[in-house]
Structure 1
Amino acid sequence: MTARTWSRRRAHRFIPMDAEDFYYPGGRTPAYTAIEINMMQGRAPDTQKALIKELFDKIESVVGISPVDMEVTIKEQPAHCWGFRGMTGDEARDLKYSVNV
Protein backbone atom coordinates (compact mmCIF):
# COMPACT_ATOMS: atom_id res chain seq x y z
CA MET A 1 0.00 0.00 0.00
CA THR A 2 1.17 3.51 -0.65
CA ALA A 3 0.24 6.80 0.96
CA ARG A 4 -1.57 7.66 -2.28
CA THR A 5 -3.88 4.68 -1.75
CA TRP A 6 -5.10 6.22 1.49
CA SER A 7 -5.49 9.78 0.20
CA ARG A 8 -8.47 9.39 -2.09
CA ARG A 9 -10.99 10.86 0.31
CA ARG A 10 -9.94 12.91 3.30
CA ALA A 11 -11.62 14.89 6.01
CA HIS A 12 -9.33 15.89 8.84
CA ARG A 13 -9.97 17.34 12.26
CA PHE A 14 -7.12 18.49 14.44
CA ILE A 15 -7.86 19.11 18.09
CA PRO A 16 -5.01 21.06 19.69
CA MET A 17 -4.73 20.97 23.45
CA ASP A 18 -2.74 22.94 25.97
CA ALA A 19 0.13 20.81 27.30
CA GLU A 20 -1.29 20.78 30.84
CA ASP A 21 -4.62 19.39 29.53
CA PHE A 22 -3.13 16.58 27.45
CA TYR A 23 -2.54 13.35 29.34
CA TYR A 24 -0.66 10.50 27.77
CA PRO A 25 0.43 7.04 28.89
CA GLY A 26 3.60 6.54 30.87
CA GLY A 27 6.74 5.97 28.83
CA ARG A 28 5.61 8.38 26.11
CA THR A 29 7.02 11.79 25.23
CA PRO A 30 5.26 15.11 24.64
CA ALA A 31 5.17 14.06 20.95
CA TYR A 32 2.49 11.48 21.81
CA THR A 33 -0.18 11.56 19.11
CA ALA A 34 -3.56 9.83 19.07
CA ILE A 35 -5.15 9.17 15.67
CA GLU A 36 -8.78 8.09 15.30
CA ILE A 37 -10.07 6.98 11.91
CA ASN A 38 -13.79 6.71 11.20
CA MET A 39 -14.75 4.55 8.25
CA MET A 40 -17.62 2.58 6.83
CA GLN A 41 -17.51 -1.14 7.49
CA GLY A 42 -16.19 -3.21 4.65
CA ARG A 43 -12.41 -3.12 4.84
CA ALA A 44 -10.75 -6.44 5.54
CA PRO A 45 -8.65 -6.76 8.72
CA ASP A 46 -5.49 -7.05 6.57
CA THR A 47 -6.36 -3.76 4.84
CA GLN A 48 -6.88 -2.02 8.17
CA LYS A 49 -3.64 -3.44 9.55
CA ALA A 50 -1.78 -2.26 6.45
CA LEU A 51 -3.17 1.26 6.99
CA ILE A 52 -2.05 1.30 10.62
CA LYS A 53 1.45 0.06 9.75
CA GLU A 54 1.71 2.57 6.90
CA LEU A 55 0.78 5.38 9.30
CA PHE A 56 3.46 4.28 11.78
CA ASP A 57 6.08 4.09 9.01
CA LYS A 58 5.21 7.36 7.24
CA ILE A 59 4.73 9.45 10.38
CA GLU A 60 8.05 8.24 11.76
CA SER A 61 9.98 8.83 8.51
CA VAL A 62 8.34 12.13 7.52
CA VAL A 63 7.43 13.77 10.83
CA GLY A 64 9.90 12.04 13.14
CA ILE A 65 7.41 10.78 15.72
CA SER A 66 8.38 7.34 17.03
CA PRO A 67 5.75 4.58 16.84
CA VAL A 68 5.93 4.30 20.64
CA ASP A 69 4.44 7.83 20.72
CA MET A 70 1.53 6.98 18.41
CA GLU A 71 -1.83 5.38 19.01
CA VAL A 72 -4.13 4.55 16.09
CA THR A 73 -7.76 3.54 16.50
CA ILE A 74 -10.05 2.57 13.64
CA LYS A 75 -13.76 2.97 14.30
CA GLU A 76 -16.13 1.29 11.85
CA GLN A 77 -19.81 1.93 11.38
CA PRO A 78 -22.24 0.23 9.01
CA ALA A 79 -22.89 2.15 5.80
CA HIS A 80 -26.44 2.98 6.86
CA CYS A 81 -24.99 4.97 9.78
CA TRP A 82 -23.19 7.38 7.43
CA GLY A 83 -24.93 10.36 5.89
CA PHE A 84 -23.54 12.50 3.07
CA ARG A 85 -24.87 14.32 -0.01
CA GLY A 86 -28.45 13.89 1.26
CA MET A 87 -28.39 10.09 1.48
CA THR A 88 -27.09 7.33 3.68
CA GLY A 89 -23.93 5.42 2.86
CA ASP A 90 -25.80 2.25 1.92
CA GLU A 91 -27.80 4.25 -0.67
CA ALA A 92 -24.72 5.71 -2.38
CA ARG A 93 -23.98 3.90 -5.62
CA ASP A 94 -21.59 6.42 -7.19
CA LEU A 95 -18.65 6.28 -4.77
CA LYS A 96 -15.38 6.70 -6.62
CA TYR A 97 -13.56 4.55 -4.07
CA SER A 98 -14.03 1.00 -2.89
CA VAL A 99 -15.20 0.23 0.63
CA ASN A 100 -15.00 -3.57 0.42
CA VAL A 101 -11.25 -4.10 0.14
Structure 2
Amino acid sequence: MIIVYGLKHTLAPRKQQIMQAIYDCLNMQLDIPPRKHTLRFIGLEREDFFCPEGRTDDFIVVEINLMQGRSEDTKKRLIKMLFCELEQRADINAIDVEITIKEQPPHCWGFRGMTGDEANDLAYSIYR
Protein backbone atom coordinates (compact mmCIF):
# COMPACT_ATOMS: atom_id res chain seq x y z
CA MET A 1 0.00 0.00 0.00
CA ILE A 2 1.27 3.42 -0.98
CA ILE A 3 -0.48 6.58 0.15
CA VAL A 4 0.18 10.04 -1.25
CA TYR A 5 -1.13 13.03 0.71
CA GLY A 6 -1.27 16.58 -0.59
CA LEU A 7 -3.44 19.61 -1.16
CA LYS A 8 -6.36 18.56 -3.33
CA HIS A 9 -6.01 21.38 -5.85
CA THR A 10 -2.32 20.70 -6.60
CA LEU A 11 -2.39 16.92 -6.21
CA ALA A 12 -5.34 16.18 -8.50
CA PRO A 13 -3.81 17.33 -11.82
CA ARG A 14 -0.56 15.40 -11.12
CA LYS A 15 -1.93 12.02 -10.02
CA GLN A 16 -0.97 10.20 -13.20
CA GLN A 17 2.61 11.53 -13.24
CA ILE A 18 3.09 10.81 -9.53
CA MET A 19 1.66 7.30 -9.86
CA GLN A 20 3.88 6.46 -12.81
CA ALA A 21 6.99 7.85 -11.08
CA ILE A 22 6.32 5.77 -7.96
CA TYR A 23 5.60 2.55 -9.85
CA ASP A 24 8.67 3.00 -12.07
CA CYS A 25 10.92 3.66 -9.05
CA LEU A 26 9.60 0.58 -7.23
CA ASN A 27 10.26 -1.43 -10.37
CA MET A 28 13.78 -0.09 -10.97
CA GLN A 29 14.99 -0.11 -7.37
CA LEU A 30 13.07 -3.01 -5.80
CA ASP A 31 12.29 -5.09 -8.91
CA ILE A 32 8.58 -4.95 -8.05
CA PRO A 33 6.49 -5.41 -11.20
CA PRO A 34 4.47 -2.31 -12.16
CA ARG A 35 1.11 -1.90 -10.41
CA LYS A 36 1.75 -4.65 -7.86
CA HIS A 37 1.05 -2.27 -4.98
CA THR A 38 -2.15 -0.43 -4.18
CA LEU A 39 -1.71 3.32 -4.52
CA ARG A 40 -4.12 5.73 -2.89
CA PHE A 41 -4.24 9.52 -3.22
CA ILE A 42 -5.63 11.58 -0.39
CA GLY A 43 -6.26 15.15 -1.50
CA LEU A 44 -6.93 17.45 1.40
CA GLU A 45 -8.26 20.96 1.82
CA ARG A 46 -5.82 23.57 3.11
CA GLU A 47 -7.45 23.58 6.56
CA ASP A 48 -6.81 19.83 6.86
CA PHE A 49 -3.17 19.69 5.68
CA PHE A 50 -0.58 21.69 7.59
CA CYS A 51 2.75 21.70 5.79
CA PRO A 52 6.13 22.31 7.39
CA GLU A 53 7.38 25.88 7.24
CA GLY A 54 9.09 26.82 4.00
CA ARG A 55 7.10 24.45 1.79
CA THR A 56 4.82 25.40 -1.07
CA ASP A 57 1.32 24.26 -2.05
CA ASP A 58 3.04 21.47 -4.04
CA PHE A 59 4.07 19.72 -0.80
CA ILE A 60 3.25 15.99 -0.75
CA VAL A 61 3.85 13.12 1.65
CA VAL A 62 4.54 9.68 0.17
CA GLU A 63 4.06 6.76 2.55
CA ILE A 64 5.32 3.40 1.27
CA ASN A 65 4.48 0.16 3.08
CA LEU A 66 6.82 -2.75 2.38
CA MET A 67 7.60 -6.16 3.75
CA GLN A 68 10.81 -6.10 5.77
CA GLY A 69 13.91 -7.44 4.12
CA ARG A 70 15.47 -4.79 1.89
CA SER A 71 18.87 -3.37 2.71
CA GLU A 72 19.38 0.15 3.97
CA ASP A 73 21.20 1.06 0.75
CA THR A 74 18.32 -0.22 -1.39
CA LYS A 75 15.79 1.89 0.53
CA LYS A 76 18.01 4.97 0.35
CA ARG A 77 18.39 4.56 -3.41
CA LEU A 78 14.60 4.26 -3.73
CA ILE A 79 14.05 7.47 -1.74
CA LYS A 80 16.63 9.44 -3.73
CA MET A 81 15.27 8.17 -7.04
CA LEU A 82 11.75 9.18 -5.99
CA PHE A 83 12.92 12.73 -5.28
CA CYS A 84 14.45 12.96 -8.77
CA GLU A 85 11.58 11.33 -10.63
CA LEU A 86 8.88 13.36 -8.88
CA GLU A 87 10.73 16.54 -9.77
CA GLN A 88 11.24 15.54 -13.41
CA ARG A 89 7.82 14.02 -14.06
CA ALA A 90 5.46 15.97 -11.80
CA ASP A 91 7.43 19.20 -11.35
CA ILE A 92 7.51 18.82 -7.56
CA ASN A 93 10.72 20.17 -6.03
CA ALA A 94 12.49 17.84 -3.58
CA ILE A 95 11.95 20.36 -0.76
CA ASP A 96 8.21 19.74 -1.22
CA VAL A 97 8.41 15.94 -0.92
CA GLU A 98 8.47 13.89 2.27
CA ILE A 99 8.89 10.12 1.95
CA THR A 100 8.36 7.53 4.65
CA ILE A 101 9.01 3.81 4.24
CA LYS A 102 7.12 1.71 6.75
CA GLU A 103 8.12 -1.92 7.03
CA GLN A 104 6.33 -4.85 8.56
CA PRO A 105 7.45 -8.47 8.82
CA PRO A 106 6.05 -10.70 6.05
CA HIS A 107 3.73 -12.51 8.47
CA CYS A 108 1.93 -9.18 9.06
CA TRP A 109 0.88 -8.96 5.40
CA GLY A 110 -2.19 -10.65 3.96
CA PHE A 111 -3.01 -11.01 0.27
CA ARG A 112 -4.54 -13.60 -2.05
CA GLY A 113 -5.79 -15.63 0.93
CA MET A 114 -2.39 -16.08 2.61
CA THR A 115 0.15 -14.23 4.72
CA GLY A 116 3.28 -12.73 3.21
CA ASP A 117 5.56 -15.34 4.76
CA GLU A 118 3.50 -18.07 3.08
CA ALA A 119 3.79 -16.52 -0.39
CA ASN A 120 6.49 -18.33 -2.34
CA ASP A 121 5.40 -17.17 -5.78
CA LEU A 122 6.34 -13.48 -5.65
CA ALA A 123 7.92 -12.26 -8.89
CA TYR A 124 10.48 -10.30 -6.87
CA SER A 125 12.65 -10.75 -3.79
CA ILE A 126 12.14 -8.76 -0.63
CA TYR A 127 15.76 -9.49 0.35
CA ARG A 128 17.80 -7.08 -1.78
- Fold shared, TM-score > 0.5 on shorter chain: yes
| Other-structure match for 1:88 | 115
Task: Give 4+ residue runs of structure 1 displaced > 4 Å after superposition.
Answer: none
| Other-structure match for 2:95 | 68
Matches within 5 A, 1:1-101: 3=25, 4-5=27-28, 8=33, 9-101=36-128
Residue-by-residue CA offset, 1:45-94 (whole Å, 9 max, x unaligned): 00000000010000001111110000000000000000011110001111
> What is the CA distance between 1:21 and its match in structure 2?
1.5
| Number of equivalent positions | 100
Report the structure, 1 or 2, having the larger helix content: 2
TM-score normalised to the size of structure 2? 0.74
| Other-structure match for 2:12 | none
RMSD of aligned Cα (Å): 1.3
Q: Distance in 2 between matches of 1:21 and 1:86?
A: 36
User: Match of 1:91, as an amino acid?
Assistant: E
User: Match of 2:83, as an amino acid?
Assistant: F
Q: Distance in 2 between matches of 1:100 and 1:73?
A: 19
Unaligned regions of 5+ residues in structure 1, if any? none
The higher radius of gyration belongs to 1
Unaligned regions of 5+ residues in structure 2, if any? 1-23
